[in-house]
């Protein structure tokens, strides 16, 4: 019997966001560390150990609570994405941005409660993202909220008044206004053996009342002063010998990315620590099985030896409303 054909290679994405953005700029070895770093990292490491003991995490979202990142080809016909409750004046500009979106046929949103979907068209250098996206039986697309970015390749990687005509810093499909595609590990990256950007981390409950730039807002509910605020930027100690840790290949790639580019707190989950990897949609799941990208390990076991206690919180720029 002839062997089954290999699955098609996933696309290699162009770089998302500016090379100087928080997602793509390497962290200098001498970057200032926040005075409260030790206490926050100890709290984070304790949370990771508690989740592993309870077998609830830490996790890597893939086929449920991550986001599909759909590459729209040049010339893709556009459709309207109807924004739920578009009548409020502060929603009108986003509704206008959703009036013509190049969504390829067969696209679907992520499974799970958030229903994320990201459409990226490199030929026009534009990106749209949605939360609670869904398509009606008649083919009409809807979303509860989201954002749009023009000139993605030079974007700072967060929403501002310059992201799109009429845009605002409260746009975006995450509670921090950091794009949901930011920090997502690509299938092609994991296959080639290195991740060339910062990682996104969602925490169970982010600190309440404040956020750290480049986050633009927060939905944090944690009153503990040692909890991480949304937008916090961490990195692994540059002196840590990652090769000596004996990490599984995917975890080693994540640690190397965390050491060079860092980890950015993007949102909160309400239940466990979570990184994000590309949602493969309807393709064979590349993450599972002994030959999968996670080496046959569930994400919490893949991350069992991740060096949480060696993280450092870079000096924060805390803001509040």
Q: What is the DSSP string of 184-242?
A: PBPHHHHHHT---SPEEEEESSPBSS-EETT-------B--TTSPPTT-EEEE-TT--G
The pLDDT confidence band at residue 286, using thresholds 50, 70 and 90, is very high
Instruction: Say which range, 2-6, 103-107, 215-219, 301-305, has the weakest mean pLDDT.
Output: 2-6
Task: Give how far Cα 258 sits from Cα of 35, 119, 241, 315, Å.
Answer: 20, 26, 13, 16
CA distance 134 to 307: 38
Q: What is the mean pLDDT of residues 137-146?
A: 95
Give per-residue pLDDT as tens, 243-273: 999 999 999 999 999 999 999 999 999 999 9
Is residue 65 within 8 Å of residue 174, measured between CB atoms? no
For 46, phi then psi, to 5°, come to: -65, -40
CA distance 75 to 239: 48
More confident residue, 267 or 12: 267
Retrieve residue 72's tokens.
């729209």
**pLDDT score at 2:** 57
- Could you tell me which residues are beta bridge partners of residue 60? 275
Using a 10 angstrom Cβ sphere, with 0-12 exposed, 13-18 middle and 19 or more buried, the burial of residue 106 is exposed
User: What does pTM read for this prediction?
Assistant: 0.94
Model confidence at 8: pLDDT above 60: no
Residue with tokens 């793509």: 24
CA nearest to 152, candidates 164, 161, 165, 134 = 164
Q: Under DSSP, is residue 92 helix (H, G, I), strand (E, B) or coil?
A: helix
The beta strands (E) that lie in the chain are given as 59-61, 69-71, 81-83, 117-121, 126-131, 134-135, 141-143, 145-150, 199-203, 211-212, 233-236, 263-268, 274-276, 311-313, 318-319
Model confidence at 231: pLDDT above 80: yes
Task: Give how far Cα 157 sits from Cα of 14, 179, 222, 231, 302, Å.
Answer: 14, 7, 25, 12, 28
CA distance 137 to 132: 16
Model confidence at 306: pLDDT above 60: yes
Q: What is the mean pLDDT of residues 177-203?
A: 96
Residue with tokens 């010998």: 241
The pLDDT confidence band at residue 7, using thresholds 50, 70 and 90, is low
Model confidence at 4: pLDDT above 70: no
The pLDDT confidence band at residue 171, using thresholds 50, 70 and 90, is very high
CA distance 202 to 152: 23
Residue with tokens 């919490």: 300
CA distance 39 to 34: 10
Mean pLDDT in the chain? 94
Give per-residue pLDDT as tens, 47-66: 999 999 999 999 999 998 89
CA distance 159 to 166: 11
Cis previous bond, 162, omega within 30: no
Q: What percent of the chain has pLDDT over 90?
A: 90
CA distance 159 to 10: 28
């Amino acid at each position: 019997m002839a062997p089954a054909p290999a699955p098609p290679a996933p696309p290699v994405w162009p770089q998302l966001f500016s090379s100087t953005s928080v997602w793509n700029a390497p962290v200098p070895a001498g970057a200032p560390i926040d005075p409260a770093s030790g206490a926050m990292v100890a709290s984070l490491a304790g949370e990771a150990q508690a989740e592993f003991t309870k077998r609830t995490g830490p996790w890597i979202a893939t086929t449920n609570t991550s986001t599909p990142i759909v590459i729209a080809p040049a010339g893709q016909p556009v459709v309207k994405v109807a924004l739920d409750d578009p009548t409020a004046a502060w929603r009108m500009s986003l509704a206008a941005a959703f009036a013509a979106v190049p969504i390829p046929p067969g696209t679907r949103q992520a499974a799970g409660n958030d229903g994320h979907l990201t459409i990226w068209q490199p030929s026009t250098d534009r990106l749209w993202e949605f939360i609670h996206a869904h398509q009606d039986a008649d083919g009409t697309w809807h979303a509860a909220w989201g954002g749009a970015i023009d000139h993605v390749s030079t974007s700072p990687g967060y929403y501002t008044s310059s992201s799109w005509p009429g845009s605002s810093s409260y746009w975006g499909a995450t509670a921090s206004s950091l794009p949901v595609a930011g920090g997502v590990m690509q299938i092609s990256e994991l296959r080639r053996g290195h991740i060339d950007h910062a990682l996104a981390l969602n925490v169970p409950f982010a600190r309440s009342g404040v956020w750290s730039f480049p986050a633009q807002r927060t939905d944090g509910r944690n009153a503990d002063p040692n909890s991480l605020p949304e937008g916090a930027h961490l990195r692994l100690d540059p002196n840590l010998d990652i090769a000596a840790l004996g990490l599984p290949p995917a975890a080693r790639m994540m640690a190397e990315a965390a050491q060079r580019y860092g980890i950015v707190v993007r949102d909160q989950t309400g239940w466990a620590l979570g990184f994000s990897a590309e949602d493969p949609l309807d393709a064979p799941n590349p993450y599972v099985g002994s030959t999968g990208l996670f080496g046959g390990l569930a994400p919490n076991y893949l991350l069992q030896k991740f060096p949480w206690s060696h993280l450092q919180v870079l000096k924060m720029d805390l803001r509040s409303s």
